[in-house]
Amino acid sequence: MAVDIPRTVIAKLLFFTIAVAVIPVITFFTVQQYTDNTLVSGGLAALAANIVLVAYVVMAFMEDSPAPASKEDETKKVQ
């Protein structure tokens, strides 16, 4: 019972998985070069992680989904 998952879905998931792991770390160390305050660096890294997650959710909602079955199709299936 293998499920057919489109390659684009896997590619998006892989991209955002890598992004959520890498972008906050890069943000932390980049900001750390300009300030010694780790609270600011950590806060901006957390903000970067949240931005990546929100972008993933938006992309997931915008993804094409199969058209829902019309009422006629559903009644034909029942009969």
Q: pLDDT tens-digit profile of 5-63?
A: 888 889 999 999 999 999 999 999 999 999 999 999 999 999 999 999 999 999 989 88
Would you state the structure tokens that stand for residue 45, as one six-digit string?
């890294």
**Number of Cβ atoms within 10 Å of the Cβ of 45:** 21
The Cα–Cα gap between 50 and 44 comes to 10
User: Apex CA 65: angle with CA 63 and CA 67, to 5°?
Assistant: 145
The Cα–Cα gap between 8 and 73 comes to 29
Place of tokens 């970067």: 48
Would you state the structure tokens that stand for residue 70, as one six-digit string?
């019309």
Q: What is the DSSP-derived secondary structure letter of residue 63?
A: S
- Predicted local confidence at residue 3, as pLDDT: 82
The residue with greater pLDDT, 48 or 68, is: 48
Q: What is the DSSP-derived secondary structure letter of residue 67?
A: P
- Predicted local confidence at residue 23, as pLDDT: 98
